[in-house]
Amino acid sequence: MNAELSRKGSAGGADAAEEPASTPAEIRAELDAPCALPAELIAFYREHGYVHLRQVFSPALLAWYGAEISRQVWRLNTERRPMAERDTYAKAFLQVMNLWRHSPRVEEFVRGRRLARLAAELAGCAGVRLYHDQALYKEAGGGLTPWHADQYYWPLDSDRTLTAWIPLQETPLEMGPLAFAPGSQRVTQGRDLEIGDASEARIAELMKNYALEERAFALGDVSFHSGWTYHRAGPNRTPRPRQVMTIIYMDRDIRLSEPKNSYQRNDHAAWLPGVRVGETAASPLNPELYP
């Protein structure tokens, strides 16, 4: 979303400085083990454009990978302005992308097969690739995340895209968990809006006849939402940061489309280097994660 951070986040090569010890076998096994996904939840996702899954990961796994994700966020973050000096977007969260390129442990997490398999099953794909990862840390006192649809930013030729939203702590309503407008993935109005004050006002008007699905996340819960599903998050009214890791998945056969705006042109350069319009979105930065 943020062009400057996109460029910084794609800087090549893993940074293994201070990399902690190897992952315990039981955590590594959990990361890749299948997770039962009932047919009714798949149907719910396809009807409503999102799904909230309970207890996908254990607290031990999230503590293990979350410590390294946080270490990299605080190391790579470039936002230093006081909250009062930032615009609405910058108040919403600290955003650091492609952490998997900076840490072998984060790469291990991003390549985990449990989430990738869930993504493929929800979207009905034979397999999924990585588009990119991004950490979204809403600081204590951080503002709302305005209404938006992610795929405004993505130069991809189908809607078989989805984001896994993975809180690294229990996330009550006052911390600003993700909220969705069920069924909004079929609404085409507002798709030309970047995230900000204008999208908050316009999409809120479009969504006034839609229910707002907002609930707390227990530790271990994960949500998935489609690229065109409208969503937002409230402010963080707690004294602790809301620490969230996200992984964006796409159909392994999805193709690069002609970029429609400056953000899509930036995404083409940052996340799909060397891929030509019409080709499969399969650069070295887009490994196939499942099967």
Domain CATH number, residue 185: 2.60.120.620
The answer to whether the beta carbons of residues 203 and 105 sit under 8 Å apart is no
Q: Based on the structure, what is the number of domains in the chain?
A: 1
Residue-by-residue pLDDT tens, the chain, 291 positions: 433 233 233 333 444 456 558 999 999 999 999 999 999 999 999 999 999 999 999 999 999 999 999 999 999 999 999 999 999 999 999 999 999 999 999 999 999 999 999 999 999 999 999 999 999 999 999 999 999 999 999 999 999 999 999 999 999 999 999 999 999 999 999 999 999 999 999 999 999 999 999 999 999 999 999 999 999 999 999 999 999 999 999 999 999 999 999 999 999 999 999 999 999 999 999 999 999
**Is 44 within a domain?**
no
* pLDDT at position 5: 32
Q: What CA–CA distance (Å, rounded) separates 36 from 57?
A: 12
**Contact indicator for 225, 165 with CB cutoff of 8 Å:** yes
**pLDDT value of position 18:** 60
In a domain, residue 223? The reply is yes
Assigned domain for 81 exists: yes
According to the model, what pLDDT value does residue 200 have? 97
- The answer to the question of residue 52 being in a domain is no
Residue 224 belongs to some domain of the structure: yes
The answer to whether residue 110 is domain-embedded is yes
Residue 34 covered by a domain: no
Q: What CA–CA distance (Å, rounded) separates 91 from 232?
A: 14
Q: Is 87 exposed, middle or buried (0-12, 13-18, 19+ CB in 10 A)?
A: exposed
With a CB cutoff of 8 Å and minimum separation 6, the contacts of 179 are 212, 213, 214, 231, 232, 233, 234
pLDDT score recorded for residue 21: 82
**In the prediction, which pLDDT does 4 show?**
29
Q: Decide if 21 is inside a domain.
A: no
By residue range, what is the domain housing residue 220?
A: 3-8+57-279
